[in-house]
């Protein structure tokens, strides 16, 4: 199984949106995805996000979705928002190739740091990242507030 | 003590950079800040980041630094990268006013979610966020790889 890696285009977005929903299922939050295809389309066209896909026989089986942000400590940083390979296509190095491409793209765009998050129970993913030379930080918690119901003063 | 809140301008950046270094000291990583004033300047001018400052007698005593990103689950999201009030000016509601302004700015810019991180031992900050109605997630770890020494294939 030899995957081909390439940049995603707008016509790939339905498949990518489907993979994000699969990932949310896997992360035990099946109802968490409330975005629409139009949200993805706007973000991709405006270059707010970048997406790479892995295909086998022209079928999308994996993807990385990322964007650059600013670390006040380090400078330009690439943040890996989503990374997923379909279960039926795991074990063939597709995730590894996608992740390496993500790092290379980040470096070529002058980022000094790549960052992402992983669930604490996802030992397979944690091992994968450690194998890639990553540092795993366990002492930060996430804070979040939904703004949809926030009343402005 | 009545603080004034306003958007930061380029001439505020030396003070802001100083506060970021104070925050890194507080977070027990005093040597972690390797950015320069020029990095901040570029990011502010390009509108990659937004900064609000709190001043008392025209002296900057606190700040929030944030940028919008894309949540594949929720859509447009505002990420609070740094948030700091000088120890000598705590207890007067300055942090609360800065945080509320951050949320209001995020909402006014059509973000549906505000997100940030907090260190697990920083109980004062965790209590502050819970009091603001935040959800604190404890089950995500951060992964990171420095790209400065990455060899491209």
Segment B54-95, tens digit of pLDDT: 999 999 999 999 999 999 999 999 999 999 999 999 999 999
Q: Apex CA A112: angle with CA A82 and CA A99, to 5°?
A: 35
With contact defined as beta carbons under 8 Å apart, do B138 and B122 qualify? Answer: no
Distance CA B98, CA A104 (A): 37
Number of H helices, E strands in chain A: 4, 7
How many beta-carbon contacts under 8 Å exist across A and B? Answer: 191
Which chain B positions have a beta carbon within 8 Å of A66's beta carbon?
none
Question: Which residue, among B48, B43, B77, B82, has the nearest Cα to B65 in the 3D structure?
Answer: B82
- Percentage, residues of chain B above pLDDT 90: 88
How many CB atoms neighbour CB B110 within 10 A?
11
What residue ranges do the domains of chain B occupy? 4-131
When CB atoms are compared, the residue of B69, B74, B75 closest to A69 is B69
Q: What six digits make up the tokens of B149? A: 């020494």
CATH superfamily for domain B4-131:
Gcn5-related N-acetyltransferase (GNAT) (3.40.630.30)
Beta-carbon separation of B144 and A137 below 8 A:
yes
Partners of B112 on chain A (C-beta within 8 Å) are 146-148
Record: contact B116-A35, CB cut-off 8 A = no
Instruction: Inform me whether the pLDDT recorded for A151 exceeds 80.
Output: no
pLDDT, tens digit (0-9, with 9 covering 90-100), for A97-122: 999 999 999 999 999 999 999 999 99
pTM confidence score: 0.93
Q: What is the pLDDT of residues A26-73, one digit of tens each?
A: 888 888 899 999 999 999 999 999 999 999 999 999 999 999 999 999
State whether B81 and A71 contact (CB < 8 Å).
yes
C-alpha distance from B26 to closest chain A C-alpha (Å):
14
Looking at the DSSP assignment, which residues form a beta bridge with residue B113? Answer: A146, B77
Which residues, 6 or more positions from A128, have their beta carbon under 8 angstroms from its beta carbon?
Answer: A95, A96, A99
Q: Alpha-carbon distance A26 to A21, whole Å?
A: 9
Q: Which residue, chain included where needed, has tokens 């995603």?
A: A8
Q: What is the pLDDT of residue B151?
A: 74
Task: Give the C-alpha separation, B153 to B148, whole Å.
Answer: 14
Percent of chain A clearing pLDDT 90 (strictly above): 88
Interface test with A, best of B141, B150, B151, B153 (most A CBs within 10 A): B141
Tell whether A129 lies on the interface with B, counting CB pairs under 8 A.
yes
* Chain B CB contacts of A95 below 8 Å: none
Q: Which of A70, A127, A128, A135 to mutate against chain B (most B CBs within 10 Å)?
A: A70
Check if the beta carbon of residue B136 is closer than 8 Å to that of residue B126. Answer: yes
Determine the Cα–Cα distance for residues B38 and A79; give it in Å rounded to an integer. Answer: 22
Shortest alpha-carbon distance between residue A90 and chain B (Å): 21
Contact call for B143 and A20, based on CB within 8 A = no
Give the span between the Cα atoms of B139 and B25, in whole angstroms: 25
For chain A, the distance separating the N- and C-terminal CA atoms, rounded to the nearest angstrom, is 57
Chain-chain contact of B138 with A141 (C-beta, under 8 angstroms): yes
Cβ atoms of residues B126 and A142 within 8 Å: no
Q: Which residue of A has its CA nearest to B150?
A: A107
Residue A14 has which token pair? 């339905």
Q: What is the pLDDT of residue B153?
A: 58
A37 touching chain B per CB within 8 A: no
Q: What is the dihedral of CA B74, A79, B48, B56, to 10 degrees?
A: 90
Mean pLDDT, range B130-141, rounded to an integer: 97
Confirm or reject contact between A135 and chain B (CB < 8 A): yes
Length of chain A: 153
Active-site residue flag, B66:
no
Q: Going by DSSP bridges, is the β-strand pair B75-85/B113-119 parallel, antiparallel, or unpaired?
A: parallel
ipTM for the complex?
0.92
Q: Which of A49, A81, A39, A27 is nearest to B111 (CA)?
A: A39
């Amino acid at each position: 199984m030899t995957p081909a890696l390439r940049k995603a285009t707008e016509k790939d977005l339905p498949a990518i949106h489907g993979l994000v929903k699969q990932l949310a299922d896997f992360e035990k939050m099946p109802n968490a995805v409330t975005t629409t295809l139009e949200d993805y389309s706007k973000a991709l066209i405006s270059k707010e996000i970048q997406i790479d896909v892995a295909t086998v026989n022209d079928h999308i089986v994996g993807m990385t979705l990322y964007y650059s942000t600013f670390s006040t400590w380090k400078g330009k940083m690439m943040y890996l928002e989503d990374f997923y390979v379909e279960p039926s296509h795991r074990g063939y190095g597709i995730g590894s190739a996608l992740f390496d491409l993500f790092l290379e793209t980040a470096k070529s765009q002058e980022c000094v740091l790549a960052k992402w998050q992983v669930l604490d129970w996802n030992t397979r993913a944690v091992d994968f990242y450690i194998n890639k030379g990553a540092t795993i930080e366990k002492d930060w918690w996430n804070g979040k507030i939904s703004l949809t119901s926030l009343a402005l003063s």
